[in-house]
Amino acid sequence: MSRHIVSALFIALSLAACGGAVEDTRPGQPVKHRQDAFKAILRVFEPMGVMLRDGKYQADKFASLAGELVAKREAPWGHFGADTNYPPTKAKAAVWSDAAAFERERQGFFAATDALMAAAQTRDPVQAKAAYDKVYGSCKSCHDGFKQK
Ligand code: HEC
């Protein structure tokens, strides 16, 4: 009896985890790959922000995260091929219709992450925070124009 309740609960939870999201069923799964690449970027970027906000700045850890961010920053873009605007993407059509502006945002992000690397090398939390905020601003700026809420 209780075993049935447990398995029913388990099924309900696994369905909830899917949240009705559409899967990327196309060959090569470009949408899934770019979303995974952005999630990997967030996973290294977020702990940097936590460290700065909580006053637990550790220069070595921060610098190594900045290096990881730079290592991961190339990953999403190759998966934005023509004809890859389909569910479950959260990209706006402007990625493809205004490719020049999307490219400017991308270059701004590269410049901001270069500056973050340099700021991390100084080990100065004030410079680190300023550079972190600029990277944050570049994520947000691109998302405002090119990603659905
Ligand atoms: C040049 C534009 C651009 C920049 C810069 C950018 N993003 Fe994004 N991001 C996008 C687009 C477009 C998507 C939607 C991709 C899709 O769903 O196909 C996205 C999606 C995401 C997602 C959602 C993945 C998912 O499946 O829910 C996360 C998380 C994310 N970005 C984090 C970041 C972070 C953190 C930064 C900065 C450190 C950043 N992005 C910088 C354009 C950008």
d(CA 126, CA 116): 12
Task: Over range 25-30, report the average pLDDT.
Answer: 95
Say how far apart CA 78 and CA 125 lie, in whole Å: 34
Note the pLDDT of residue 22: 86
Give the model's confidence band at 12: pLDDT under 50 very low, under 70 low, under 90 confident, else very high: very low
Give percent above pLDDT 90 in the chain: 85
Which residues, 6+ apart, have CB-to-CB distance to 26 below 8 Å? Answer: 84, 86
Q: What is the pLDDT of residue 67?
A: 98
pLDDT digits (tens, 9 = 90+) for 33-88: 999 999 999 999 999 999 999 999 999 999 999 999 999 999 999 999 999 999 99
Question: And the tokens for 121?
Answer: 């090398």
| Residue with CA at minimum distance from ligand 1 atom 25 | 35
Specify whether the backbone of 22 is left (phi greater than 0), alpha (psi in -120 to 50) or beta. beta
List residues near ligand 1 (CB under 6 A): 31, 34-35, 38-39, 41-42, 45, 89-91, 95, 102, 105-106, 109, 135, 138-139, 142-143, 146-147
